[in-house]
Amino acid sequence: MKKLYSLVLSFLLCQAAWAQDASSDKDKALLQEGTRLYQSEMASWHGSDLFMAQLKTKANLLGGYLSYPDGDKVKCIFFTREEQPSVIAQASFEPTFDLKQATLEEQARPFNAREQELFTIRKAALARINSDTLFKSYSNANLNLIPLIEQEERKVYVLTGPTTQGVVLFGNDYLLTFDKTNKISSVKQLHKSLIPIQTSPNVKDGKAEPAIASMHTHLPETGDHFTATDICTLLLYQKFTTWKHHYVVTPKNVSVWNCETNQLTTLTKEAWEKINQHQQQLRDKRK
């Protein structure tokens, strides 16, 4: 772990000089998508807490919830369990999720046009999950569906979230895309497996050492960058860890996520090797 931390320090010193085109626009797009996923999940988390705290007596009516950005707010609506559901409550949040500014209000109304489309693609995705063996489930984990509609793009991401503390789950995630008529046009498994990473301290020589970094690898079919789901997972769970950085190593690149600044930087393997060489030179000078 000390070696990894030294690499982090060396990386911070050298990234400006050695950063390649592997980063920039691709990383920015992934950060935007990952942030959208995170905001949807956070609205669902906090909205559900507010609903159970304030409207628990209506829980028997509840068929589900949907979260989506709306202007300068992120909203979470709660709907009934009929074939054609209606809204029974709505929670609203600032993008920073300052809970002092969060609101929950009872409503009795039909879906608006956007909510209807989000509900439609989520329902179609759930039906596909229940009928397709591509989708895997694991004990102590849930599959969480996040529908997104952004301009002409219609998607449902499927993430695996832990139901127990002390672990962050990467992988076992999927992306379903839809056409303009809300029919599924493609289904992709983003990571081929589930990647659990424990958040408890490492034990070395009988002493607990907080983990300052974590990592996972991508196979070629996952791609040479972070996935939006990787970013969403870190934004959701990094606050429960002692990590300063998370690494994703791919066949061509090494990407580093800064857990304190929420910044993503991707280097080519060639640039990363230069950092390793620089680190070795520093070690040699200290001898």
Confidence at residue 203, expressed as pLDDT on a 0 to 100 scale: 55
Confidence at residue 23, expressed as pLDDT on a 0 to 100 scale: 56
Confidence at residue 272, expressed as pLDDT on a 0 to 100 scale: 82
What letter would DSSP give residue 55?
-
The angle at the Cα of 140, spanning 36 to 81, to the nearest 5 degrees, equals 60
Domain spans in the chain, listed from the N-terminal domain onward: 2-286
Confidence at residue 34, expressed as pLDDT on a 0 to 100 scale: 97
Q: How far apart are CA 44 and CA 237, in angstroms?
A: 15
Query: In the chain, what are the helix, strand and coil shares in percent, each to the nearest 5?
Result: 35, 35, 30
CB 262 within 8 A of CB 235: yes
Distances in Å between the Cα of 251 and the Cα atoms of 7, 24, 247, 248 are 19, 19, 13, 10
List, for the chain, all residue ranges whose pLDDT scores fall below the cut of 50.
Answer: 1-22
Q: Say what the pTM is.
A: 0.88
Confidence at residue 205, expressed as pLDDT on a 0 to 100 scale: 58
Confidence at residue 206, expressed as pLDDT on a 0 to 100 scale: 61
Is residue 276 within a helix (H) or strand (E), and if so which, with residue range? helix 269-286
Confidence at residue 16, expressed as pLDDT on a 0 to 100 scale: 41
What residue spans of 55-184 are helical by DSSP H? 113-131
Confidence at residue 13, expressed as pLDDT on a 0 to 100 scale: 38
Q: How far apart are CA 25 and CA 233, in angstroms?
A: 21
